[in-house]
Amino acid sequence: MYLPRPSSHYYPLQYPTLSELPQREQPKLIYDSRYEIEDKYYRNQIYNQQQQDLAQSQQEYQKMEKTYSKQNEYKQDPNTMNQTYGKKRNNNQQQQQQQQPPISEKYNQITDSDIKFISYIFQEEIQFRKELVQINKKLKLLKPNLLQLFFVFTSDNHYKIEKFKFLEVLQSYQDDIKVCDLELLFNYLNNWKRSQSITYGQFLQLIIPYIKYEEMPDPADLKYQQDQPTQEQMEIFCRLIQMKLQMMSTLEYYRQKIDKSLINLVQIFEFIDQDRDGYIKAFEITKLLQQFGYLVTIEEAQLVLQDIDERGQININQFVHYYKPKSLAIYL
């Protein structure tokens, strides 16, 4: 009888048995206190965050309960709802009245002395502007090259005049120049916005509003064929700037005095505006100044108004904005 042999006889095992496999060594755990401290720190942080979330959710739940209970009360009794809302409105109005004083207490009612003070400010500003016109006429007779005059105050022939460079050149001709007055002038040329420099067009605003020059140089023309400004031209121009700074500093002094005295500028405007058209014009300023003995022509009064508005008439917003303080420096 034929007995078959096992398959191991024909196909020997190629793989080792389990007992023959090498045993892998287990890694040793190394204890380090730093890891334990970090684990505790993060666990505490997570726990604190969970506690904060739980407290916040409890507060929100309590608020929801209160609002739900109030809504149920109002649904049951609508009269109580109207009474409670009425009480809240009255309390809010009383608190607002206590916090904000009435207008009559915040701004004083205008008196004859206030009107006389405003008319004096008008008269002072007109005198300053008349002197500026005279100085500008002298400058025009010398026929200066305004482009070259502009580049005297710039550094490296740039198209902007920096504030401290402007101050340095001015102090070489005029000693009594203050930095706060110069900042006020630069802010005025930038529509009462803080600025550290002025452009060529803003530089010309110091001269052109009073006397219009026939030939205006182009700043893009950089051919330096003409002569530099003479000593006399520089002295007259610096005198013009000094007069401009003096006018702006005195106006700022009066602005801060108006603000400190709490003079009601709205009532002053309504008093000057005699025809009640919402604008102050030159003839109304002349009538106001004549009441206090100041003789001013319409052309001279027009100098003040055209500096605020080119049309020569100003509304109430322009009037109030013009006589509000413009500088952080104290001029009083």
Give the per-residue pLDDT at 86: 54
Decide which of 12 and 49 is more confident: 49
Strands (E), the chain: 160-162, 197-199
Closest to 139 measured CA to CA, from 220, 204, 197: 204
Decide which of 79 and 297 is more confident: 297
Give the per-residue pLDDT at 149: 86
Structural contact between residues 307 and 209, judged by C-beta atoms closer than 8 angstroms: yes
How far is Cα 159 from Cα 197, in angstroms, rounded to an integer?
Answer: 10
Position 126 confidence tier, pLDDT thresholds 50, 70, 90: very high
Across 109-128, average pLDDT: 90
166-179 confidence digits (pLDDT tens): 888 888 887 778 88
Q: Which two tokens stand for residue 312?
A: 């020569």
Cα pseudo-dihedral 244, 246, 252, 255, rounded to 10 = -100
Give the per-residue pLDDT at 7: 58
Count of beta carbons in the 10 Å neighbourhood of residue 157 = 9
Whether residue 15 is predicted with pLDDT greater than 60 in this model: the reply is no
How far is Cα 332 from Cα 253, in angstroms, rounded to an integer?
Answer: 6
Sorted by sequence, the CB contacts under 8 Å of residue 296 that are 6+ apart come out as 122, 123, 126, 285, 286, 289, 290
Structural contact between residues 241 and 210, judged by C-beta atoms closer than 8 angstroms: no
Sorted by sequence, the CB contacts under 8 Å of residue 265 that are 6+ apart come out as 258, 319, 320, 323
**DSSP state letter for 220:** T
Query: Lowest-confidence range among 14-28, 36-50, 228-242, 287-301?
Result: 14-28
**Count of residues in the chain:** 332
Give the per-residue pLDDT at 176: 79
Give the per-residue pLDDT at 314: 92
How far is Cα 261 from Cα 4, in angstroms, rounded to an integer?
Answer: 127
Domains of the chain: 110-322 (1.10.238.10)
Give the per-residue pLDDT at 42: 61
What are the DSSP calls for 79-108, one per residue?
HHHHHHHHHHHHHHHHHHHHHSPPHHHHSB
Count of beta carbons in the 10 Å neighbourhood of residue 83 = 11
Across 182-204, average pLDDT: 86
Give the per-residue pLDDT at 120: 92
Across 76-104, average pLDDT: 52
Q: Which two tokens stand for residue 326?
A: 């413009």
153-164 confidence digits (pLDDT tens): 887 767 788 888
Percent of the chain at pLDDT exceeding 70: 68
Whether residue 28 is predicted with pLDDT greater than 60 in this model: the reply is no
What values do phi and psi take at 127, rounded to 5?
-65, -40
How far is Cα 229 from Cα 227, in angstroms, rounded to an integer?
Answer: 7
Instruction: Decide: helix, strand or coil at residue 320.
Output: helix
Whether residue 2 is predicted with pLDDT greater than 80 in this model: the reply is no
201-253 confidence digits (pLDDT tens): 888 888 766 545 444 445 555 444 456 788 898 999 999 998 999 999 999 99
Whether residue 12 is predicted with pLDDT greater than 50 in this model: the reply is yes
Position 140 confidence tier, pLDDT thresholds 50, 70, 90: confident
Instruction: Decide: helix, strand or coil at residue 253.
Output: helix
Give the per-residue pLDDT at 32: 46
